Amino acid sequence: MDMDLSGRRALVTGGGKGIGAAISSQLVEMGAEVVINFRSDRASAESTARGLRGVTLHQADVSDPGEVGKMFAAQGPFDVVVNNAGMLRDRLLLRMTKEDWDQVLGTDLSAAFHVIKAAVPHMMRQRFGRIVNLSSIVGLGGNAGQANYAAAKAGLIGLTKSVAKELGSRSITCNAVAPGYVLTELTSSSISEEMLKELIRMTPLRRPGTTAEIAAAVAFLCSPAASFITGEVLVVDGGLSA
């Protein structure tokens, strides 16, 4: 299986920790030159980059199109883009504020639009590109207390399929990965031990996923081995949504 990305430049948004860090590491192992984007946690980004060759760090809030433009001017162009940046602001619908809604939609959905729009001109000119968006099984089935997050992740799926149809003729693929429950700093801070036990009980493989397992799925979709796959949503959830 051809997983070689030698000579390719890749951008991983939110690539400094959690799933993003695992993706960044995997792409480096495949030979790519990786730019790790982070918004605020420089310490985690520097820790991830330490020991990885060919890695550059760039701080930017990708929900801001102006900052995305500056990042591409400084670091681009890119052959591979992974839209991983995300955040949670979980509340029941009646308690959810406009700020809760706007922040999550801005980071989890609009940011991917800004990054893809900035990346595509180069990809179109060279008639090659790999775009992978990190969605979630919550985007497929919804979840109480996560109306904003579910809407953003469902929106990413619609964006993924639309981009795939628009750009396929230029040999640019666009796919999504939809993880189930994965133990990260972000998720562990938002779920109780009781809820975790229930999720594990409902998962046929009887455990949470790992960041490396999500990164492996993303890496496959970025690789030459996936050159005839586009517009797809790869669910990696241990069977939770089966």
Which of 16, 128, 25 has its CA nearest to residue 80? 128
Residue 6 DSSP symbol: T
Whether 149 is catalytic: yes
Share in percent of the chain as helix, strand, coil (round to 5): 50, 15, 35
Residues, the chain:
242
Q: Which two tokens stand for residue 155?
A: 């929106």
Of 38, 72, 113, 149, the catalytic one is 149
DSSP for 98-154 reads HHHHHHHHIIIIIHHHHHHHHHHHHHHHHT-EEEEEE--THHHH--TT-HHHHHHHH
170: number of CA atoms within 13 Å, CB side? 20
Which residues participate in catalysis according to the annotation? 149
